A and B are shown apart, each in its own frame.
Chain A
Amino acid sequence: MRVSFVVPTRNSARTLDACLGSLRAQTHEDVEIVVVDNASSDGTDRIARRYADKFADRGPERSAQRNHGMRIGSGDVVVFIDSDMVLEPHLAHSIVDAFRREPDVDALVIPERSFGDGFLVRCRVMEKDLYVGDPGVEAPRAFRRDVIEALGGWNEELTAAEDWDLADRTAASGARVGRVNAWIWHDEGHIALRTTFRKKRYYGRWIDRYMRMQKGRATRKFTRTALLRDPLRLIRHPVLTAGMVTLKATEAAGLVLGIRDARKAGQP
């Protein structure tokens, strides 16, 4: 069973080497790496060509890049990976194993944990840990080829919240979603509140569009009940908890402003 890893990139030189290196070091033999760049200017293409079996340049946004990668890849399984992720060596093997063992499973969630520099990253690590196993937050990344093709791939109308959109459509199609017991390590680099705020404000505009598409059903996505699932842990780490609250508040403020921007402008 061939596994195609599809990696969209845009000025991703900082993290790409580690990402693609971890794909190349997979213990499963039949692995294909597909990188779809979007006009990077920081040497991303040079790194990508060193590792990739297939390389393309395509815009305008992440969803279109992923769909193109899915089309040019030849794997029986398509796994969508971001350029700031590092995969444990047995991940491809675990995916193949899960699909073989359970023929009626159509898609797989891969749990994630964060790493990086500084205090806010440690807060993020705790946050992500609390999400593990929460279907309201986790979205499948690995699909059987016929399943993702039947779903029509990623929604090219969305640049943010496109992962929720795909998860919603996967669930609505009646597809069965399983999970694997191997981790994706997510490189958060260094988290700065100001950058986080700006990014979320940008995403907020797209989330407005996503919510219109969902006609209100999507609101559950914004309440992070999982964060309160383990109150003892929060009490044991009061400083991290305070940092996490600050981080989430900043993100929420960014999103709200972004949504307001979108409503004012009428369009994202």
Chain B
Amino acid sequence: MRILVLNWRDLAHPAAGGAEVYTEQVLRRWVREGHDVTLFAAAVPGRRAVENVDGYTVVRGGNRYDVYREARVWWRRHGRGRFDVVIDETNTVPFHALEWVDDGARTIALVHQTCEEIWHVNAPFPADLLGRYVLEPNWLRRLGHGPILAVSESTRDALARFGAHDVHVVPEGYEPPPLPAHPAKEERPTAVFCGRMVGYKRPLDVMRAVVQARREVPDLRVWMIGGGPDLERLRAIAPPGVEFLGRVSEEVKHDRMARAHVHLATSVREGWGLVVSEAAALGTPTIAYDVPGLRDSTRAAGGVVVPPHPDALARWLVELLPRWQGGIPPVPYGGAHSWDEVAKTLFHAVDEHARIPHGH
């Protein structure tokens, strides 16, 4: 099959994240299966406009804001008639392929997560209100006119609130890296937080919870792993028991995650919460806020969700630490799925649910 994937970033983009890893793992497997795959993404300084990556073609054009228009222009000039299916991979802003793919090709959207509350964290007032209450509902309503694939039950629920009902859940993938040796758990009760130090990950909630929990478990400590704009500010106010490691290599990160007794996740919302799967694959259970995405990955990984409040996190941490002193047996794929399985399932879902847009 000839497949065009639209995503605002590719893996070469400096800000590439979980969605880009997902795309790249799937696409290179589709190519191996004999499909003809093209990915359209925003331009990356120093990278060519057309490049072959792992057997699929990456076409780059536009920046973070006009990549959506550029995709459409490219389609008119070069894309029309060359593809059987177009996948609109939506990171907050959809490409709206179903409104301009007009050559009889089928379209489908792939949504990792909705933005909603994160608008308030990522955009200044009053742009956040405009985004959350005007733009995003409008985008998602339009997207809902066609079929959609979502990577978690939570995302499907969220899309349903915006009126999108033709939504099917596809699995999230995670493959644990080979660890040279499985490190032993720490002697001292240790929690780990792993994420960018930004508002919507709520690292401050972790700090508050740990301070509170230390009243009952005085030698408790937490490793805060990750860079980000708030790192220095948080490091400056770090209370006893809270250690900031900053941005570290993958090896160091996995070593620390494996040595900790419990992993804490406090985001406002996630698409899936891959970091939970990562921890579970390393034998470290998660206590997470009961929010969309984190609740999917945490349940799949056998962890525990709590009301999103530092008091609750502290309470559960104190109660559950003794049970997890020796860690848990590593969970296969951390409760997610192998990339081979994801690629296969996603392909079948695309083939089964993609439709020729109305009006064309």
Known contacts A18-B305, A21-B299, then 15 further A-B pairs from the complex at CB < 8 Å, ordered by chain A residue? A18-B290, A21-B304, A21-B305, A25-B320, A27-B319, A27-B323, A86-B306, A86-B307, A86-B312, A88-B315, A89-B316, A90-B319, A115-B308, A183-B315, A185-B307
Interface residues on A, range: 10 to 19
Measured in the bound complex, the distance between the Cα atoms of B299 and A25 in whole Å is 12
The number of inter-chain residue pairs (CB within 8 angstroms) is 37
Residues in A lying within 8 Å of B, measured CB to CB: 17-18, 21, 25, 27, 86, 88-90, 115, 183, 185, 187
Whether A115 contacts B305 in the complex (CB less than 8 A), given A89-B320, A90-B319, A183-B315, comes out as no
Query: In whole angstroms, how far apart are the Cα atoms of A115 and B290 in the complex?
Result: 11
Chain B residues with CB under 8 Å of A89's CB are 304, 315-316, 319-320
Question: Per-position contact with A for B289-324: 1 when CB-CB < 8 Å, else 0?
Answer: 010000100010000111111001001100110010
User: Whose C-beta in chain A lies nearest to the C-beta of B306?
Assistant: A86
What is the CB-to-nearest-CB distance from B217 to chain A, in angstroms, rounded to a whole number? 14
Cβ-defined contact, B295 with A17, below 8 A? yes
A153 to B299 alpha-carbon distance, docked (Å): 35
Q: Give Cα distance in the complex from A18 to B292, angstroms.
A: 12
Q: Name the CB-closest residue of A to B317.
A: A89
Task: Kindly state the interface size class of chain B when it binds its partner.
Answer: 10 to 19
Query: Which residues, 312 to 339 on B, are CB-close (under 8 Å) to A?
Result: 312, 315-316, 319-320, 323
Alpha-carbon distance between A136 and B72 when the two chains are bound, in angstroms = 65
Q: A25-B320, A88-B319 are in contact. Are A187 and B307 (CB under 8 A)?
A: yes
Contact in complex: B316, A185 (CB < 8 Å) = no
B residues 79-106 in Cβ contact with A at 8 Å = none
CA distance A90 to B323 in the complex (A): 12
**Of B290, B305, B316, most A-chain CB atoms within 10 Å:** B290
How many Å lie between the Cα of A21 and that of B309 in the bound state?
17
Expressed in whole angstroms, the Cα–Cα distance for A88 and B316 within the complex equals: 7
Contact present for A115 and B307 (CB under 8 Å): yes
Q: Across the interface, do A25 and B304 meet the contact criterion of CB distance under 8 Å? A: yes
Distance in angstroms from A236 CB to nearest chain B CB is 19
Q: Which residues of B contact A (CB under 8 A)?
A: 290, 295, 299, 304-309, 312, 315-316, 319-320, 323
Do the beta carbons of B319 and A115 come within 8 Å of each other? no
Check if B312 sits within 8 Å of A185, measured CB to CB.
yes
Q: How far is the CB of B267 from chain A (nearest CB, A)?
A: 15
Complex CA distance for A51 and B134, rounded to whole angstroms: 39
**Chain A contacts of B299 at CB under 8 A?**
17, 21
User: Please, which residues of chain B bring their CB within 8 A of the CB of A183?
Assistant: 315
List, in ascending order, chain A residues with CB within 8 A of B309's CB: 115, 185
Q: How far is the CB of A110 from chain B (nearest CB, A)?
A: 14
CB distance from A49 to the nearest CB of B (A): 15
Nearest chain B residue, comparing its CB with the CB of A182: B315
B323 contacts across to A, CB distance below 8 A:
27
Question: For A21, what are the chain B residues with a Cβ–Cβ distance below 8 Å?
Answer: 299, 304-305
B320 contacts which chain A residues (CB < 8 A)?
25, 27, 89
- Hey, which chain B residues are within 8 Å of A115, CB to CB? 307-309, 312
How many Å from the CB of A154 to the closest CB on chain B?
27
Q: Please list 8 pairs of residues, one from A and one from B, whose beta carbons are closer than 8 Å in the complex, sorted by A's number.
A: A17-B299, A18-B290, A25-B304, A25-B320, A89-B315, A115-B307, A115-B312, A183-B315
Cβ-closest 7 pairs across A and B: A89-B319, A185-B307, A115-B307, A90-B319, A18-B290, A88-B315, A25-B304
In the bound complex, what is the Cα–Cα distance between A90 and B295 (angstroms)? 21
Q: Hey, which chain A residues are within 8 Å of B312, CB to CB?
A: 86, 88, 115, 185
- The interface residues of chain B lying within 8 Å CB-to-CB of A18 are 290, 295, 305, 307
**Please, how many angstroms separate the alpha-carbon atoms of A212 and B320 in the complex?**
47
Contacts of A86 in B (CB 8 A): 290, 306-307, 312
For A25, the chain B residues whose CB sits under 8 A away are 304, 320
Give Cα A218–Cα B225 distance, bound, in whole angstroms. 56
**Given the complex of chains A and B, what is the CA–CA distance between A90 and B316 in angstroms?**
9
Distance of A181 Cα from B290 Cα, bound (Å)? 23
Q: Once the chains are docked, how many angstroms separate the CA of A17 from the CA of B306?
A: 11
- Rounded to whole Å, the gap between the CB of A91 and the closest CB of chain B is 9
- Across the interface, name the chain B residue whose C-beta is closest to A15: B290
Q: Which of B295, B307, B315, B316 has the most CB of A within 10 A?
A: B307
Closest chain B CB from A136 CB (angstroms): 25
Contacts of A88 in B (CB 8 A): 312, 315-316, 319
* Residues of B close to A27: CB separation below 8 A: 319-320, 323
Contacts of A17 in B (CB 8 A): 295, 299
Per the bound structure, the CA–CA distance linking A27 and B316 in Å amounts to: 11
In the bound assembly, the distance between CA atoms of A187 and B295 in angstroms comes to: 15
Q: What is the distance, in angstroms, from B159's C-beta to the closest C-beta of chain A?
A: 16
A121 to B15: give the CA distance in the assembly, Å.
Answer: 36
Assembly CA distance A83 to B308 (angstroms): 17
Contacts of B290 in A (CB 8 A): 18, 86
- Chain B residues near A90 (CB, 8 Å)? 319
Across the interface, name the chain A residue whose C-beta is closest to B308: A115
- How far in angstroms is the closest Cβ of chain B from A220? 31
A113: nearest chain-B partner, CB-CB: B311
Chain A residues closer than 8 Å to B305, beta-carbon distance: 18, 21
Rounded to whole angstroms, the CA-CA distance of A25 and B307 in the bound complex is 14
> How far is it, in angstroms, between the C-alpha of A172 and the C-alpha of B312 when the chains are bound?
35
Identity of the chain B residue whose Cβ is nearest the Cβ of A114 in the assembled complex: B307
Q: How far is B97's CA from A15's CA once the two chains are assembled, in angstroms?
A: 35
Question: How far, in whole Å, are A90 and B322 apart by their CA atoms in the complex?
Answer: 12
Provide the bound-state CA to CA distance between A245 and B323, in Å.
Answer: 44
CA distance A89 to B295 in the complex (A): 17
Measured CA separation A257–B320 after assembly (Å): 47
- Which A residue's beta carbon lies closest to that of B323? A27
